[in-house]
Amino acid sequence: MKHRSRITRLMVFAVLVSACAQAAPPPTAAPTDTPSGPQTLTVMTHDSFAASEDVIAAFEQANNAKITFLKSGDTGAALNKAILSKDAPLADVFYGVDNTFLSRALDAGIFEPYASPALSRIPADLRLDAENRALPVDYGDVCLNYDKAYFEDKRLPPPQTLEDLVKPEYKSLLVVENPATSSPGLAFLLATVAHFGPDQFIDYWEQLAANEVKVVDGWETAYYTDFSGSSGKGPRPLVVSYASSPPAEMIFAPDPKPDEAPTASVVGPGACFRQIEFVGILGGTKSRALAEKWVDFMLSEPFQADMPTQMFVFPAVQGVKLPDEFVQWAQTPEAPAAVSPADIALHREAWIEAWTDAVLK
Amino acid sequence: MAFRLRSPAPLPPRSLARAVAPAFFANAAALFLLALPLLFLALFYVYPLVSILRLGLAPQGRLDLAPLAALAGDAHAQRVVGFTLWQAVLSTLLTLAVGLPGAYLVARYDFRGKGLLRALAGVPFVMPTLVVAAAFNALIGPRGWINLGLMALFRTDTPPLNLMNTLGAILLAHIFYNTTIVLRLVGDFWAHLDPRLAGAARVLGADGRRAFTHVTLPLLAPAILAAALLVFIFDFTSFGVILVLGGPRFATLEVEIYRQTISLFNLPTAAALSLTQLACTLAFTLLYARLSARVTAPLPLRPQAFTQQPLNTWRARLAAGVIVGGLLALLVAPLAALALRSFTRLEAARGERTAVQTGFTLAFYQELFVNRRESIFYAPPFAAVGNSVGVAAATTFLSLALSLPTALALTRSGSARLNRSSQIPFREWLDSVLMLPLGTSAVTLGLGFLVAFSRPPLAWRASPLLLPLAHTLVAFPFVVRSLSPALRGIRPQLRRAAASLGASPLRAFQEVDLPLIGRAVMVGGAFAFAISLGEFGATALVARPDFPTIPIAIYTFLSQPGALNYGQALALSTILMAVCAGGILAIESLRVGEVGEF
C-alpha cells in the first residue's frame, strides 16, 4: 500500500504545518478587565514608529498598564484606517498624523480635545490646533542632502538655496520623490510653494525639469537607489531627505566609525519644510484617563529624549537634550517653509496635479 | 499561430436526455465539494470587498453610481486602463517567450541540478520590489556593472544603456518575477505528456516543427493558457514594479487606486476604479475559461521517467547550456549580485570615491542579532524567519485544503463526458469568479478587511490566523489553476474502473486522482508557500507588528538611512532567498505520487 503511506505522510506534514502555524505567533495579550490586572491601552500609529524597550516598560510599570502598538501602514494609510474605523475605534490613541494630513484628521473628527499640561513647554509655532485635539510631539525638517565627497571631488560648491538648483552646474544631479506617492516628496513640493508662492512654484519646477531633475516613487528608492551619498551608491549627489539623515548615517555606520558624516543638508532660507507630528486621543475611548497619561508621557523628558535615535525626529518639547550625533551632524534650517494645514488640505490635489503636468508630462 | 484540437463530435440529441440525470447528481456532489471554499471566499473576500465598496459607492446607504459614470468619461482613466492592458499583454507574451524554452528543457530532459534550477527560478517570485529594484540597479542602472563594462569598452563617460524608469524596466521586471509560473505550470504538464504522440506524427512524415505546432503545442495549450492567465493577472494588477522600476510616469489601475485611496482618500473614485479592475479580470478569466474548455482533452499522462531523457547529444547539451545560461543570467544574476553585496564592505577614504575598497564582511549578518537601539520592535532574525515560514506553511496547508475540492468540483464533470453541452455555464462562471481575488486591488481589499473585521460579529482583526488567511486568498486561485490542467487530463475511465471495483469516491480519489496529480499538488503547494513568503501586498491587508515577517523586517531596515540598515536589508533579503529556495526544494521532495507507479 504504497500510496497509503504517502497520504499518511502528507497528513503528518499537514498536522505539523498547522501545529507550526499555531506555535509561530506569539500569544497576544488578552485584555483583562479585572482591577488587579494591568489595564490595556492601544496606540494606533504608522510603520515608522519606534521606541526603546525600557522607556515603554517604565510607563507600563508606573501605570500598571500594557501598551499595544497598532502599526497601520504609512502616515496616510494609518490615518485613513483611523477615520474609517471612527465608529468602532481600533485604538485609544493615534500618534503620527503630520501637518500635511492634520486637516483631514481634524475634519473627520476622530480626536477628543485634551489640554495636556505639558503643552506649556512646546513652542507656539508647533501648536497648530487651537482646540488641542492634536498635540505636537516631534518635528523633522525635509531638506536636500548632498554627497560631500562628490562636491569635494568636483571642486564644486554644494547648492545653498532652492534657486541654485536650476543653475547649469547642478544639471542632472538632483533626485526627488513624487509628491503624489511620497511624504517627503510632498513636503519638498510644499517648500517650493511656500518659497515661490502658489502662482510661481510651477515655473520653478519647469526650470528644475529642464535641469533634468529625476523623480522616483518614494524615499527608499531616491535615497538607496539614486543617491550617491548612501550605501546604495547611486548616480546622483543631491536628494530630498531629512536634516536628520546625516546623523543617522553616523549612528548606522559599521565599525570602525568614520570621522565625519558622508552627507550634509542644504539649509538655506526656505529650502526645507518642517513636518510636525501630532498625537491625539481617539473619540470614544473607554480608557480616557490612561490615554491622557500616555499623551503626557509622550511629551515628557524620557520619551522625548528617546525619539531622535529611534525615529530620527526632533523633540517638540523645549530643553530636551539631543544625542551627540544630532548635535554634531544635524543642521538646523534657517527659515523652514510653512504652509497651513488648511491650505494644504484645500490645495493638495490641485498642486500635485499642476506639478505632475509640469514635471512628468 | 492557430492551434486547435479536433473538437469531439457533438452527441446525437437522444443521448442528451440520458445525460441530464447524472448531471444533476454531479452538480450536487460538486456543490458539496465547493461548500468550504465558497464559505471561505464569502467570508474573506466578498464580505470585506462589499464592505469597502459600499463605503465608496453607497455612503448614505443608497447606491450611487455617479463615480463610475464619471470615470467612464475621464480621459486620464482611459489612458490608465489602456496602459495597464498594454503592458500586461506585452509582459505576458515576453514571459511566455522566455519561459517556454525553459519549460521544454525541464520537461524533456533529465540533468543534474534541475531541481535546484527550478527552485532558484522561483526565488524572484518572493522578493520585495524595493530589493529587486536595488538588484536591477546594480546590474543595469546607470552605474551598474553592464553600463560600467560598456563604458570601459567604448571609452565613454555616459552610460549607453538607459533602461531604468522605462517601459523596458517594467517588462524586464515582470519577466523576472513571473517566468517561474510558466516554467512550473507548463514544464510539469509537459513532463507528463507522452512523447510518442509527437513521435507518431514524425513517423507519419511531419517534420519536427510541424509535429510541434500540430501535436505538442495543442496538447500543451491548457497549461500554457493557465500560465498565461496567471502571469497576465499578476502583470495587470502590478503595483510595486510600476512605481519603483517604472517610475512616476507610468500608472496602472492598481497605482491609481492606491493614489486615490491613500493620498487623496477619495473612496468613491477608488471604488469605481476597483470595480473596473475587477470587471477586466472577470472578462479575462471568462475568456480563459472559454478557450480552455475548447483545447482541453483527457490525455494519457506518463511518468517523468518515461518522458525524459538524459542530455546525451552535443546538440542537446548546447541547447540546454544556452537555455540554462539565459535563465541564470535573467533570474539569478541580479539576486546573486545582492547576495554578494550583503557580504561586502565598501570603504572609501574621503575624497577618493573612485577608489572604493571592498572586502569580505559578516558585519551585516552579525548586526541582525543585535538590538542596537534597544527597540521594542526589534525582531531577531530567527524569529522573523520562523514567523515567515510558519505563516507560509499555514498558507500552503490552507490553500491545498481549499483548492483540491475546488479543482475536483470544477474539472470532474467536465471530464466525465466529452461533450461540451453537459458543461453547465454556472461552472464556467464559478471557475472565473474563483480567480477574482487575484485580480483585486490589495489596497481596496486591505481597507475592506479593516472595515469588516474590526467590529462584532466578526471582530477577528487581532487573530493570528488572519495573515495566513489573507495570503491564502491570493494563493488559492493560483493553486486551483495549477491543479486543473492535471485533473482535466485524467481519463474518467480510470475512476469508473475504480468505482466498478467497489471503491468509494474518496477511495477512488486517493487511489486514482491523487497519484496522478501528485506532482501538480506539490507544484501548487510550492506556489502557495512562495506567495506567502513574498507577502504580495497582503501586509496591506493585515498589519501585525508584534509578528514581523522577513519582508516586513526588510522594509523596516530600508526605511532609515545608514550603511548598517542597508546592509542588514540585503542580509535579510539573502536569507529570504535561501528560505524560499530551501522551502521549494523541501516541498518538492515530498512526492505524493508519480504517474504509472502502480
Contact A9 B590 (CB under 8 A): yes
Residue type, B437: P
Angstrom distance (rounded) from CA B425 to CA B413 = 12
Contact B590 A70 (CB under 8 A): no
Angstrom distance (rounded) from CA B109 to CA A53 = 56
Q: Residue B556: its chain A contacts at CB < 8 A?
A: 47
Please spell the DSSP secondary structure of B35-102, one letter per residue: HHHHHHHIIIIIHHHHHHHHHHH-TTSS---HHHHHHHT-HHHHHHHHHHHHHHHHHHHHHHHHHHHH
Contact B143 A234 (CB under 8 A): yes
Residue pLDDT, tens place only, B114-141: 888 988 998 998 888 888 888 888 788 7
| Residue of A220, A227, A260 to mutate, testing the B interface (most B Cβ within 10 Å of its Cβ) | A220
Residue B572, domain member (yes or no): yes
| Residue of A16, A190, A216 to mutate, testing the B interface (most B Cβ within 10 Å of its Cβ) | A216
Of the CA atoms within 13 Å of residue A167, those in its CB half-sphere come to 12
| Residue of B263, B465, B558 with shortest CB distance to A224 | B558
Angstrom distance (rounded) from CA B262 to CA B266 = 8
Residue type, A160: Q
Angstrom distance (rounded) from CA B484 to CA B283 = 19
What's the domain range around B455?
Answer: 66-589
Contact B592 A7 (CB under 8 A): yes
Residue pLDDT, tens place only, A160-199: 999 999 999 999 999 999 998 899 999 999 999 999 999 9
Identify the helix (H) or strand (E) that includes residue B30: helix B14-41
- Enter the C-alpha cell of residue B142: 546607470
| Residue of A1, A2, A5, A6 to mutate, testing the B interface (most B Cβ within 10 Å of its Cβ) | A6
Rounded to 5°, angle at Cα B458 from B457 and B461 = 140
Quote the distance between the C-alpha of residue B271 and its chain's center. Answer: 25
| Residue of B247, B351, B376 with shortest CB distance to A149 | B351
Q: How far is A46 from chain B (nearest CA, A)?
A: 10
Q: How far is B248 from chain A (nearest CA, A)?
A: 6
| Residue of B238, B263, B343 to mutate, testing the A interface (most A Cβ within 10 Å of its Cβ) | B263
CATH of A140-274+328-359 among 3.40.190.10, 3.20.20.70, 3.40.50.1980, 3.40.50.620: 3.40.190.10
Contact A54 B462 (CB under 8 A): no
Contact B363 A254 (CB under 8 A): yes
Residue B313, domain member (yes or no): yes
Angstrom distance (rounded) from CA B436 to CA B431 = 10
Cβ proximity of B277 and A209 under 8 Å: no
| Residue of A69, A84, A145, A171 to mutate, testing the B interface (most B Cβ within 10 Å of its Cβ) | A84
φ/ψ of A73, rounded to 5, equals 105, -170
Residue B46, domain member (yes or no): no
- Enter the C-alpha cell of residue B123: 526565488
Contact B560 A51 (CB under 8 A): no
Q: How far is B543 from chain A (nearest CA, A)?
A: 6
φ/ψ of B194, rounded to 5, equals -70, 115
Contact B566 A230 (CB under 8 A): yes
Angstrom distance (rounded) from CA A286 to CA A152 = 58
Q: Check residue B5 and give its pLDDT.
A: 36
Q: How far is B36 from chain A (nearest CA, A)?
A: 18
Place A339 in a pLDDT band, splitting at 50, 70 and 90.
very high
Q: What is the CA radius of gyration of chain A?
A: 23
> Which is nearest to A276 in space by CA: A347, A230, A218, A344?
A344
Q: What residue of B is the nearest CA neighbor of A21?
A: B390
Residue pLDDT, tens place only, A111-136: 999 999 999 999 999 999 999 999 99
Residue B30, domain member (yes or no): no
Q: What residue of B is the nearest CA neighbor of A56?
A: B376
Contact B376 A312 (CB under 8 A): no
Residue with cell 483631514: A104
- Enter the C-alpha cell of residue B234: 499578476
How far is CA B202 from each of CA B112, B153, B209, B211, B215, rounded to the nearest angstrom?
A: 29, 48, 10, 6, 10
Identify the three-state secondary structure at position A43.
strand
Residue A239 has pLDDT above 70, yes or no: yes
Contact B130 A153 (CB under 8 A): no
Residue B3, domain member (yes or no): no
pTM score over 0.80: yes
Q: Residue B247: its chain A contacts at CB < 8 A?
A: 215-217
Start-to-end CA span in chain A (Å): 68
Q: Residue A76: its chain B contacts at CB < 8 A?
A: 262-263, 265
Angstrom distance (rounded) from CA A95 to CA B231 = 40
Residue B580 sits in a domain whose CATH number is 1.10.3720.10
φ/ψ of A110, rounded to 5, equals -85, -15
Residue ranges of chain A assigned to CATH 3.40.190.10 = 39-139+275-322, 140-274+328-359
ipTM of the complex as predicted: 0.83
DSSP lists the bridge partners of residue A215 as A176
Total domains present in chain B: 1
Region A39-139+275-322: CATH code: 3.40.190.10
Contact B243 A309 (CB under 8 A): no
Residues in chain B, total: 598
Q: How far is A120 from chain B (nearest CA, A)?
A: 29
> Which is nearest to B539 in space by CA: B445, B438, B408?
B445
Residue pLDDT, tens place only, B165-223: 889 999 999 999 999 999 988 998 888 888 888 888 888 888 888 888 888 888 899 88
Q: Check residue A157 and give its pLDDT.
A: 96
Please spell the DSSP secondary structure of A269-283, one letter per residue: TT--EEEEEEEEEET
> Which is nearest to A140 in space by CA: A75, A93, A204?
A75
Cβ proximity of B108 and B309 under 8 Å: yes
Residue B60, domain member (yes or no): no
Q: What residue of B is the nearest CA neighbor of A148?
A: B351
Angstrom distance (rounded) from CA A208 to CA A215 = 11
Residue type, B370: V
Rounded to 5°, angle at Cα B529 from B528 and B533 = 115
How far is CA A74 from each of CA B246, B377, B559, rounded to the nearest angstrom?
A: 21, 16, 11
Eight-state DSSP code of residue A157: P
Q: What residue of A is the nearest CA neighbor of B455?
A: A88
Q: Residue B249: its chain A contacts at CB < 8 A?
A: 360
Angstrom distance (rounded) from CA B303 to CA B572 = 39
Q: Check residue B347 and give its pLDDT.
A: 60
Beta strand segments in B106-161, E:
109-110
One digit per residue, the tens of pLDDT, for chain B of length 598 reads 333 333 343 434 444 444 444 555 566 777 788 889 999 999 999 999 999 999 889 888 888 888 998 888 888 899 999 999 999 999 999 999 999 999 999 998 988 888 889 889 989 988 888 888 888 887 887 777 788 888 888 888 777 888 878 899 999 999 999 999 999 889 988 888 888 888 888 888 888 888 888 888 888 998 899 899 999 999 999 988 898 888 888 999 999 998 888 888 899 999 999 999 999 999 998 888 888 777 776 676 777 777 788 888 888 899 999 999 999 999 998 899 889 888 987 765 444 444 456 778 888 998 899 888 888 888 888 888 998 999 999 999 999 999 998 988 887 654 444 444 444 567 777 778 888 998 888 888 888 888 888 777 777 776 778 888 888 988 898 898 888 777 777 777 787 888 888 888 778 877 777 777 777 888 889 889 988 888 755 555 555 556 788 888 888 898 889 889 999 999 999 999 999 999 888 887 776 555 433 2
Q: How far is B583 from chain A (nearest CA, A)?
A: 13
Residue B290, domain member (yes or no): yes
Q: Check residue B15 and give its pLDDT.
A: 44
Angstrom distance (rounded) from CA B582 to CA B593 = 21
Angstrom distance (rounded) from CA B45 to CA B53 = 12
CB pairs under 8 A between A and B: 230
Q: Residue B390: its chain A contacts at CB < 8 A?
A: 20-21, 23-25
What are the start-end ranges of the H helices in B328-441?
333-341, 363-368, 381-416, 425-433
Q: How far is B566 from chain A (nearest CA, A)?
A: 7
Q: Residue B447: its chain A contacts at CB < 8 A?
A: 80-81, 84
Q: Residue A72: its chain B contacts at CB < 8 A?
A: 543
CB neighbourhood size of B84 (10 A): 25
- Enter the C-alpha cell of residue B187: 514544464
Angstrom distance (rounded) from CA A184 to CA A273 = 9
Residue A20 has pLDDT above 50, yes or no: no
Contact B353 A309 (CB under 8 A): no
Contact B566 A224 (CB under 8 A): yes
**Quick one: three-class SS letters along B530-589?**
HHHHHCCCHHHHCCCCCCCCHHHHHHHHHCCCCHHHHHHHHHHHHHHHHHHHHHHHHHHH
A192, exposed or middle or buried, with CB in 10 Å at 0-12, 13-18, 19+?
A: buried
Q: How far is B151 from chain A (nearest CA, A)?
A: 14
Identify the three-state secondary structure at position A140.
strand
Contact A9 B263 (CB under 8 A): no
A317 contact partners, CB below 8 Å, separation of at least 6 = A118, A121, A122, A299, A300, A301, A304
> Which is nearest to B415 in space by CA: B404, B426, B403, B427?
B427
Contact B265 A80 (CB under 8 A): yes
Quote the distance between the C-alpha of residue B189 and its chain's center. Answer: 16
Cβ proximity of B347 and B148 under 8 Å: no
